[in-house]
Structures are given as structure tokens and as C-alpha cells.
Structure 1
Amino acid sequence: MEHFSLFVLMSFLLILLPGPDTGLATQNTIVYGRKGGIQTALGSAGGTMLHTLAAVLGLSALIVKSALLFSIFKYAGALYLIYLGVTSLMALRRPKNALPQAARHDGRSPLLQGLLTNMLNPKVAVFFLTFLPQFLIAGANPVVPFLLMGLTYTVMTVVWMVLYVCLLDRIGAWMKRPNVQRAMQGVTGFVLVGFGLKLALERRP
């Protein structure tokens, strides 16, 4: 593997860009508190590792090359994001005092939400197949470098998202106000729906 330090730098810059995982972590931190946000981050990390293994095994290449498989993953991921966003928006119809400060999961697992949001996003598969190979030595066995880069990217993502969740949770009493929570939940709900629609309209590379 070549230029590992450059890979780390480029990965860090990419991780800072907000995406569906960040939107979901924001929502779950607001609704469920820090624990829910961290569980979402860990679920997302699990999805990233699954994409890494898929890239190593060649499954990601199969999904990218097959229009049918790519569409299945794309629309499944888009529908799931839209479902999460609409569910969040529908929750705003409850009375204000029904939105608890540390809401119960109501049967929904933030860990599973993070995993599915990441795993069902074919753009992540495309990312692993286009970004990681740039740092491989020509002709070398890609298995170990792919695993190392995937693990590094996953750890960096978890560290950043946990810091983000903790910062969001510690903003203070202002974030704890019911009106602010409802407003933030509404915004993140629309953001998740937007990400879902964007993913649905994404063309296969």
C-alpha cells in the first residue's frame, strides 16, 4: 500500500462531509440522547466494515456492474431513508409533552438503523471500489491493504461521529428545550427524506 498518510488525510476530509449517516446520528441523538447517537455511529461502522469485506470478496464489484443489483440496493436504501425521515416528521404530530427528553426507542434500534442506512447505500460500495484502489501498489494482493484501509476508515469515522454526538449532546439546556428538539427533529426528518430522494435519483456509475 502506498501513501498511507495521504489516505488518512483524504479519508478525514471525506468523513467531515455530512451524509445520511450524519443526519441519522443527529436525529437519534436529539430523540434518544447520547446513547442513541453513539449506537447509530457503531451501526454505521458495522455497515462500513461489511462494505469492506464485500469489496475484498468482489461482491461490491458485482453490485456496481449489475444494473439490477445496483437498483435494488439503491431503491431499498432510498426507501429506508425516506421511511426514517417520514417517521421522524410524523412523530411531530404528537403533543409536545409526548416528546421525552430521553425518548424510548419504541422498538426501533439506533444500532440497526445505522447499520441498514450504511449497508443499503450502494454509493458506499462505489466509494470503496474507486477510492481505496488508488492507494494500492500495482500488482500487489489487495486483500490485506483493503482490510487495513477499511478498518482505518471505520475507526476514524467512529471517532469523529462519537465526538460529534457528544458535542451535540453537551450543547446544553438549549438543546433540551422541547420546542428546539421538535424543530431539530423536523429538520433532520426533511434531511433524511432529501438524502433518500437524492439516492433514488442517483445514476449508476
Structure 2
Amino acid sequence: MMHNYPTFVLLATLLILVPGPDYILLTKNTIAGGQVSGFKTLLGCLSALVIHTTFAVVGLSAILVKSAVLFTTIKWVGAAYLVYLGIKALFQKDVAETTEQKKGNLYLQGLLTNLLNPKVAVFFLTFLPQFVTTDGNWLDFSTLGLTYVFLTGFIFSGYVLSLNKVKNVMQNPKVKLVINKISGIFLLGFGVKLMTESN
């Protein structure tokens, strides 16, 4: 049975508002390609959260957390992917052209950035149980997990729409390129941070 559901919604909302790789990807892709690109990225992020929720419900996330080798492997793969995205953005010379080429990969960027982050799995295993009593079942965990997914979708959708409005005053290719490179630096930083954090 769930308890303190309003508190869960409030805390989850605050956690979602904390800047992370998702915000950087959404910013980079929306400024470069508009709200369609932003929503493709967002859909990938939400898909990964649904998968993490499923893993937490069936117990696969617990296996990940308990296995040092598996946890470290996924952490390094996820960190390497962030570093790859960061370096690619830093050396990108034509934002408009490469955005057109990469539009099919935007969903995958959002998906892999979240799916390969073991800290998300740890979050679901440590945060959700605090709002479920000892006799809670899979339905309670699913409800909390999907609530988090819904809140993420709602907040990030608003962010994408806001960015799309700002994008109209940032049509200068040089401005887009600067934003892209700044995003690359942040993605690179998040990747390095994930690599150097202890398990």
C-alpha cells in the first residue's frame, strides 16, 4: 500500500527540476532542430524511465545494484556515451546540416542517456520504496514509477515548448553553434563525473 502520495509527487517534481544530462540534450536538440527534435529526444527519455520502472518492479534493478561488475560496466558504458555525445557536439561544425542527418537518432540519444545510467536504477530502488508500506505490491511500485514518468513528461514538455519559443530569436547559425558547443562541454562533464564517481 502507498502512503504520502502527495509528498512523493512534490519531491519527485523537485528532483525532476534538478538539471542533468536530460536538460542538456533537450536544450541542444530543441535549439538546433525545433520542438519536433526536442519531443523525439523526450520520448526516448520517457521510454527509458518506463523500462527502469519495469526493471524495478520485476527485481532486475536489484540485481544490477547488487552486482558490482554489472553496475560498473553499465556505468562506464553510460559515461562513455555521454562523453561521445559531448565530444561530437564540441567538434560539430554545421548544426543545421548535422541535425537533419541525426534526426532519426534523437530518440536513441534520449533513450540511451537514461537507460545506461545506473544511478537512475538506484534512484528507483531507493526512492520509491520510501512511499510503499511493507505489504506493498507491484501495482504500488508501478503507480509511483509511472507517476514519475508522467511528471517528467509534463515538466520536460513545458521546457521543450519554452525552448522552441526562445529558438525563434536564436536563428543565427553562429549562436546555435555556440549553444551546441556549450551543451557538449556539459555532456562531457556529466560523463566524466559519472566515470569518476564511486559505486
- TM-score using structure 2 length: 0.95
Q: Is 1:124 the counterpart of 2:120 in the alignment?
A: yes
Are the aligned partners of 2:64 and 2:71 in contact in 1 as well (CA < 8 Å)? Answer: yes
Question: How far apart, CA to CA, are the structure 2 residues paired with 1:156 and 1:168?
Answer: 18
Residue of structure 1 in register with 2:96 after alignment:
100
Give the number of aligned pairs. Answer: 198
Runs of 4+ in 1 over 3 A off after TM superposition: 105-108
Q: Deviation of residue 107 (structure 1)?
A: 6.5
* Identical columns (%): 45
Q: Deviation of residue 172 (structure 1)?
A: 4.9
Residue of structure 1 in register with 2:52 after alignment:
51
AA at the equivalent of 1:200: M
- Using the TM superposition, name which of 127-136 and 174-183 deviates more: 174-183
Higher helix share: 2
Residue of structure 2 in register with 1:62 after alignment:
63
Coordinate RMSD, CA, aligned:
1.5
Structure 2: runs of 5+ lacking an equivalent:
none
Are the aligned partners of 2:86 and 2:186 in contact in 1 as well (CA < 8 Å)? Answer: yes
Name the CA shift for 1:105/1:152 in 2 (closer, same or farther; >3 Å).
Answer: farther
Q: Deviation of residue 108 (structure 1)?
A: 4.8
- Using the TM superposition, name which of 115-124 and 98-107 deviates more: 98-107
Residue of structure 1 in register with 2:19 after alignment:
18
Q: Deviations over 1:24-75 (max 9, x none)?
A: 1111112222111111111100000100110111111111111100011100
Pairing partner for 1:163 from 130, 148, 158: 158
- TM-score using structure 1 length: 0.92
Are the aligned partners of 2:30 and 2:36 in contact in 1 as well (CA < 8 Å)? Answer: yes
Question: How far apart, CA to CA, are the structure 2 residues paired with 1:81 and 1:29?
Answer: 18
Q: Is 1:114 the counterpart of 2:114 in the alignment?
A: no
AA at the equivalent of 1:78: A
